[in-house]
Amino acid sequence: MADTFTKQHALSVLRARTGLPATEAEAVLDALLGILADAFAAHPRTELRGFGVFTTRERSARITRNPKTGARVDTPACKTVGFKPGKELKARLNGVTQ
């Protein structure tokens, strides 16, 4: 099973790279995540050059099934976020140096 990168891990990496105290690193990370969440809610396309593009998509209402009971469940329409990695991120994931 693959390791999971958590917010706590991100905080420790941020602290190590910047030398920020724990409270300041957490404030920076929380601010960044809040900015991104606000951008996703306000714009259908959010682009971070070199990292990737986030797009909001509409999911239509549909009828699904509860896998445990088999009962029909009405699932309402909702929005979701899609992600397409940028060139630099793809290269880094594939071990290609630029």
What is the 3-state composition of the chain as percent helix, strand, coil, each rounded to the nearest 5?
40, 30, 30
Segment 3-42, tens digit of pLDDT: 899 999 999 999 999 999 999 999 999 999 999 999 999 9
* 79 pLDDT above the threshold of 80: yes
Q: Measure the CA–CA gap between 41 and 79, rounded to whole angstroms.
A: 9
Mean pLDDT, the chain, integer = 93
Sheet holding 45-48, edge to edge: 45-48, 52-59, 78-85
Whole-number pLDDT of residue 95: 87
* 46 pLDDT above the threshold of 90: yes
Whole-number pLDDT of residue 96: 81
Nearest to 40 by CA among 82, 77, 71: 82
The residue assigned the tokens 């601010």 is 31
Whole-number pLDDT of residue 1: 47
* pTM for the model: 0.76
Whole-number pLDDT of residue 2: 63
* φ, ψ dihedrals at 9, nearest 5°: -65, -45
Structural domain boundaries in the chain: 1-42
